[in-house]
């Protein structure tokens, strides 16, 4: 009986029911609300913006070495940086709204607390840390790096596991309900791991360098984007088996797509080198677009209810949209 219940629960998680109803989303609009300067960045810079999974607070992490926590657009509540400052590749605000994690060029990931708990570092890698995710249930942290490794660390910073991959491993995505990690490589492969660090499979995305990899909110779909301007939507029913390619979207003809985000209603946002913000449905139909800037847009994030979108421009400007 226990096994049967477990099977039913597993089927409920694995079957792509929730997202299927979102495929036919036909309407959405982008309404600019506010822009503000979060960081003063010059030249070839990096900036990531990320909402908390549970509130309208968000963080920005940038190549000036600073990660900033914002209560709302233009209302900063806290800022962290290493000494000496190290360029940040990535950052996230966790669902508790007080834990921030960052990935830095100097080979360290750091967990910060807005409540004054001392910072905890994870490293060193042999080169820059490109991304970091907090594992579920306090099981520690996973990091990726220019040194080609994916590493799992205990909560207090002890190295637990090291997995070598070819080239750079650049982005991580976590499916916490399924205990899965997706890690993208610059040679256009995606490695699927368990949260214990077991490599389940590696598949070729065929998009050149991958600039982003995300799971859908129900964790059934995996989305990849990058070098060749496409977004690919994969159905990952069984993490041990090659995913099924559902849709390919040519999201830009003129350059990289740098960031994607998907809300619970099945609306997909993309930003890239062409300075345009676009919304899509999961069948690949363009629903809305706004030409925002002549600079690169590097990152985007939906609010938890999916009704707001933040995008981060190369010069440190953040733009907020209503969906």
Partner 1 sequence: MNLLQSKPSIGHLLLGLGMAISGFTLPAQAGIEVIREWKAAPVLLQNVEFSPNGKQILTASGGGEAQLWTLDGKASSPIMAGQRPPMFNAHFNRSGTLIITTSYNGTVGLWNTQGHLIKTLPVHEAAVADARFVGNQGNFVTSSDDGQVVLRQATGAPSWSGGHPGTARQLVVSPQANLIVASSDSGSVHLIWLDKTGKPTKMSTIKTPHGRINQLSTTADGKTIAASGIDGTVSVWNTKGEMLYQLKATTKGWANGGMFCKTKTGPLLTVGDDGVIKEWTRTGQILAQRKLSDKSRLTKVDCSPSGNQAAVVGSNGELWLLAITSKQ
Query: Interface residues with partner 1 (CB under 8 A)?
Result: 42-44, 84, 107, 124-128, 145-149, 164-168, 185-188, 208-209, 227-228, 256
Token readout for 211 is: 């600039």
- Minimum CB distance to partner 1, residue 255 (Å): 8
Query: Looking at beta carbons only, is 57 or 186 nearer to partner 1?
Result: 186
Query: Looking at beta carbons only, is 219 or 273 nearer to partner 1?
Result: 273
Query: Strand pairing of 257-262 and 268-272?
Result: antiparallel
- Minimum CB distance to partner 1, residue 187 (Å): 4
Query: Looking at beta carbons only, is 106 or 216 nearer to partner 1?
Result: 106
Query: Looking at beta carbons only, is 27 or 253 nearer to partner 1?
Result: 253
Query: Looking at beta carbons only, is 84 or 138 nearer to partner 1?
Result: 84
Query: Looking at beta carbons only, is 36 or 227 nearer to partner 1?
Result: 227
Sheet holding 297-302, edge to edge: 31-37, 317-322, 308-313, 297-302
| Cis geometry, peptide bond prior to residue 124 (ω within 30 degrees of 0) | yes
157 vs 173: CA distance, rounded Å: 20
156 vs 33: CA distance, rounded Å: 41
> By the 8 A CB rule, do 271 and 277 touch?
yes
- Minimum CB distance to partner 1, residue 194 (Å): 20
Helix, coil or strand: residue 87:
coil
For residue 12, give every residue at least 6 positions away whose Cβ sits within 8 Å of its Cβ, in sequence order, or none: none
- Minimum CB distance to partner 1, residue 272 (Å): 12
Query: Looking at beta carbons only, is 64 or 146 nearer to partner 1?
Result: 146
- Minimum CB distance to partner 1, residue 167 (Å): 3
- Minimum CB distance to partner 1, residue 273 (Å): 8
CA dihedral 168→66→101→151, nearest 10 degrees, is: 30
CA 141, 146, 147, 150 torsion-angle sign: positive
- Minimum CB distance to partner 1, residue 146 (Å): 5
Q: Which string of b and e fits 178-188 if b means at least 16 CB within 10 Å?
A: bbbbbbbbbeb
């Amino acid at each position: 009986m226990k096994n049967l219940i477990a099977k039913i629960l597993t089927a409920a998680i694995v079957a792509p029911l929730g997202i299927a109803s979102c495929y036919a989303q036909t309407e959405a609009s982008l309404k600019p609300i506010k822009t503000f300067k979060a960081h003063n960045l010059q030249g070839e810079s990096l900036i990531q913006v990320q909402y908390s999974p549970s509130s309208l607070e968000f963080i920005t992490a940038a190549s000036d070495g600073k990660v900033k926590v914002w209560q709302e657009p233009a209302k900063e509540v806290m800022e962290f940086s290493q000494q000496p400052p190290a360029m940040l590749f990535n950052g996230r605000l966790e669902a508790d709204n007080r834990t921030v994690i960052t990935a830095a060029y100097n080979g360290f990931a750091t967990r910060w607390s807005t409540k004054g708990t001392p910072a905890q570092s994870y490293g060193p890698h042999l080169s820059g840390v490109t991304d970091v995710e907090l594992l579920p249930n306090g099981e520690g942290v996973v990091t990726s790096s220019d040194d080609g490794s994916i590493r799992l660390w205990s909560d207090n910073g002890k190295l637990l596991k090291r997995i070598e991959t070819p080239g750079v491993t650049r982005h991580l995505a976590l499916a916490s309900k399924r205990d899965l990690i997706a890690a993208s490589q610059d040679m256009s492969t995606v490695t699927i791991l368990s949260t214990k660090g077991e490599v389940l499979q590696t598949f070729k995305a065929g998009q050149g360098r991958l600039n982003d990899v995300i799971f859908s909110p129900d964790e059934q779909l995996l989305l990849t984007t990058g070098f060749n301007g496409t977004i690919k939507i994969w159905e990952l029913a069984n993490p041990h088996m090659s995913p099924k390619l559902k849709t390919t979207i040519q999201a830009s003809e003129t350059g990289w797509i740098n960031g994607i985000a998907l809300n619970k209603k099945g609306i997909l946002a993309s930003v890239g080198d062409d300075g345009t913000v676009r919304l899509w449905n999961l069948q690949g139909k363009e629903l809305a677009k706004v030409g925002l800037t002549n600079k690169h847009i590097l990152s985007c994030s939906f609010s938890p209810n999916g009704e707001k979108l933040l995008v981060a421009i190369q010069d440190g400007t953040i733009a907020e949209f209503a969906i």
